[in-house]
Structure 1
Amino acid sequence: METIEHKTVHVNGINMHVAEKGQGPVVLFLHGFPELWYTWRHQILSLSSKGYRCVAPDLRGYGDTDAPSSVSTYTCFHIVGDIVALIHSLGVDQVFLVAHDWGAIIGWYLCMFRPDTVKAYVCLSVPLFPRNPNVKPVDSMRALYGDDFYICRFQEPGKQEAEFAKAKTEDVIKNVFCNRNTGPPILPKQAGMPSNNPPDTSAIPLPTWFTQQDLAYFASKFEKTGFTGPLNYYRNMNLNWELTAAWTGVQIKVPVKFITGDLDMVYTLLGTKQYIESGAFKREVPNLQDVVVQPGVAHFNNQEAAVDVTNHIYEFIQKF
């Protein structure tokens, strides 16, 4: 890990922390919630040894990157603006894109707004969900799962941060990373963490793929920055829906490989499995070249099944 270089670049009006290693075609990694550049540690070390320049930022609001205070500065346009400026700072016109969770959502927006910057996209966990012109996404989730569904509970500024503050940051991170429940994450009022997990996180053993050192690194960064920046992504979901009305019905034309675990809650909720299997996903992404469903793997597949994910990435991007 000490061979990974770290730097700060000024992009789109903010200072962004970037981890980088290797020479060659750029592979740009975008992390999700509640993660950091560090979620890609295995892929960075492996792919950089295979002739690629691996670049992984802390996204806006995370880790050592600036966290603007206004909720409205975390829209899809702001985040994609950061990424486009980062790509330009690397001195290249196009990148191989690899993204997970919220990073995957931003990845779809990047492919939608600036497909010229993406050679090919390896998407983990979150497929492209087409914009429904008749209902806002948070409203739809509330209708499906109720007010205590985690995304619904994240909407009020300051509220979830206060709930998280009742627990140790390390416990919050551990709870999220170790959760393998495939049902909807429910956050009852006055509870800082999902009700489908044991309240005492000391009773949750760390999996083999996530060490105490890994946990301590994530916790150290979130103790410094808090969770407001990351939660602001969720607070802009309905606003993103309003801002992207002009892109309703637009297909993603870049080459795509999609990888998920069959225990990933994104795969098991929201009709995602049926959406993928029915061919509807392929209709939205006509150049979707492969769908990989990893048996027995949950949401954080880039860490839990790191070698398998890395091999899939390498197999795909070396075609281009």
Structure 2
Amino acid sequence: MSDLRQRRVRTNGIWMNIAEKGRGPLVLLLHGFPQLWFSWNYQITQLAKHGYRVVAPDMRGYGDTDAPPDPASYTVIHLVGDIIGLLDELGEERAFVVGHDWGAEVAWYLSLFRPDRVRAVVSLGVPFRPYVAVKPMEMITKMYGAGFFLSQFQEPGRAEKAFSRYDCLTVMKKFLLIDAPDHETAPPGVEFIDFLDTPISLPPWITEEELIFSASKFRKSGFTGPLNYFRAMDLNWEFLKPWQGAKITVPAKLIIGDKDVWFHTFGTKEYMEKGAYKNFVPNLEVVFIDGHRHIQQEKAEEVTHEILSFFNDPSLM
């Protein structure tokens, strides 16, 4: 991508790598697990072409951004703090924000904590969930068992040790191409990464070269930072109690792939179909498209059209 620039900026006590392109109103693109800024390749080019200043960071713990070792440094308070610091460093008061997977969680909480810094928010694949009375890992393990991937990720070092039996390219392929709910829980005595198949061929939306690029970054940084997002889930629960019952008031759009494996987990499909989300994000537009988890890559053109049609609304400027 010609005229794309990468640099590291200081924010919230860490150095964060960002890719940026274009001029105009700022759009932040926040990636999820286990990806990098590069997963927004198509959106960066197209949004910049349509008159936006686009910035896609490697999130805390990923790629060329610093990766503190302590899981307690990965709460949503820290992650939102990173983005606020980034906005300040960029000299921008407000931004349009797009998040996918864990990046979508950060986008939602940024919108909840600091609506004054968000013009509008787009979430890919992750609806905003209200605070519940039970610790998330207690509830998840009870529902899905000790072999569930989130349960196995909780013990520091366990998943890293299991991942190390494979090269990083294989690990990337295993995770990026999960496409069925029955792929989420390993049998007793089996590590989750061992349970996942390694695909023989790649889908048309991603190339071997792209995966090799990502694998080279994970080979350098490791997986502890990304796994720490999951290990901070119960800490998030403790910190978020003061926002119990709070609503997200910024204009919002949720884009979900109807074949997304997580859409069919955690009761998400039922939550969306019953319309319960309207109680917590009243100004939300919901769009379903034919796709899986990584829809910003699988259906890049369609997703980008949905983002642009939303952000181009004159009332949001």
TM superposition score category, shorter chain reference: over 0.9
1:95-131 deviation per Cα after TM superposition (whole angstroms, max 9, x unaligned): 0000000001111111111111100001101111111
| Matched-pair contact (CA < 8 Å) for 1:63–1:221 | yes
Give, in angstroms, the shift of residue 191 of structure 1: 2.7
Match of 2:312 in 1: 318
Query: SS at 1:29's partner residue?
Result: strand
Q: What percentage of residue pairs aligned between the two structures are identical?
A: 46
- Give the alignment's TM-score, normalised by structure 1: 0.95
Conservation of the 8 A alpha-carbon contact between 1:167 and 1:192: no
Q: What is the one-letter code of the residue matched to 1:162?
A: K
- Check whether the contact 2:168–2:218 (CA below 8 A) recurs between aligned residues: yes
1:34 is paired with a residue whose SS is coil
Is 2:147–2:191's contact at 8 Å kept on the other side of the alignment?
no
Q: Distance in 2 between matches of 1:194 and 1:248?
A: 38
Q: Equivalent residue for 2:229?
A: 233
The alpha-carbon deviation at position 182 of structure 1 amounts to: 3.2
Aligned residue in 2 for 1:137: 136
Distance 2:237 2:136 in 1: 7
Question: Which residue is equivalent to 1:275?
Answer: 271
Contact 2:149 2:192 (8 Å CA) reproduced: no
Which secondary structure state, in structure 2, belongs to the residue aligned with residue 260 of structure 1? strand
| C-alpha contact (below 8 Å) 2:98/2:121 kept by paired residues | yes
Other-structure match for 2:256: 260
| Structure 2 equivalent of residue 193 of structure 1 | 193
- TM-score of the aligned structures, taking structure 2 as reference length: 0.96
Structure 2, unmatched stretches of 5+, are none
Is this contact kept in 1: 2:64–2:217, CA < 8 A?
A: yes
Report the CA distance shift for 1:131/1:114 in structure 2 as closer, same or farther (over 3 A): same
Q: Distance in 1 between matches of 2:68 and 2:2?
A: 29
Please give the alpha-carbon distance, in whole angstroms, between the structure 1 residues aligned to 2:81 and 2:151.
26
Indicate whether 1:35 and 2:51 are aligned. no
- Are 1:292 and 2:287 matched, yes or no? yes
Note if contact 2:26-2:53 (Cα within 8 Å) is conserved in structure 1. Answer: yes
Counterpart Cα distance in 2 of 1:23 and 1:88: 17
What SS does structure 1 have at the residue aligned with 2:27? Answer: strand
Offset at residue 204 of structure 1 (A): 2.5
The reply on whether 1:307 has 2:304 as its aligned counterpart is no
What RMSD, in angstroms, separates the aligned Cα atoms of the two structures? 1.2
Question: Match of 1:259, SS?
Answer: strand
Contact 1:164 1:192 in 2 (8 A): no
